[in-house]
Amino acid sequence: MRLRRTLSEPEEPIELNLIPLIDVIMFLLIFFISTTSFMDQPGVSVDKPQAGGSSQGENKSIVFDLSVDGKVSYAGQEIGVNGVRATVKRLCSDESRPVIIQASEKCRSGVVIRVIDEAKLGGAKDVSLASEKS
């Protein structure tokens, strides 16, 4: 009868099963995500200072107005969607200027997208949207 192990006998490899560990970690992750309450914490109201050179900033930006019926105007004159590219090219020939699109709240999104595309094709680097309630 042999009670001692010899060195020549191969040991069985130790296998660590990670699947139950991963299951437990995923369960804990789901539990903590679902039980966390997201609170909307209001910020502090601050009186913002007025900018000194606001008229200069307005002169450097190109502002297009979009009405509810899809008419595009610049500086009070109706130019249409097709006139946006030519206007941006003309005004951005010397230096790049930001383009601001003032769209009515009820304006169709397709018209807004077309005006953004035409402004980008005209050479505008920055295109912003500003909305106003009608």
CA distances from 20 to 29, 32, 39, 116 (A): 14, 18, 33, 52
Q: What percent of the chain has pLDDT over 90?
A: 10
Q: How confident is the model at residue 33 (pLDDT cuts 50, 70, 90)?
A: confident
- C-beta atoms surrounding 8 within 10 Å: 5
pLDDT of residue 28: 94
Q: Are 118 and 85 in contact (CB under 8 A)?
A: yes
pLDDT of residue 3: 61
What are the sequence ranges of the domains in the chain? 62-132
At 66, which helix (H) or strand (E)? strand 62-66
The answer to pTM > 0.75 is no
Distance of alpha carbon 51 from alpha carbon 121, whole angstroms: 31
Domain 62-132 has CATH 3.40.50: no
pLDDT tens per residue, range 34-90: 887 766 655 555 555 565 554 444 458 888 888 888 888 888 888 888 898 999 998
Overall average pLDDT of the 100-128 stretch? 87
- Checking phi first, is residue 42 left (phi over 0); if not, alpha (psi -120 to 50) or beta? beta
Question: Which of 46 and 19 is assigned the larger pLDDT?
Answer: 19
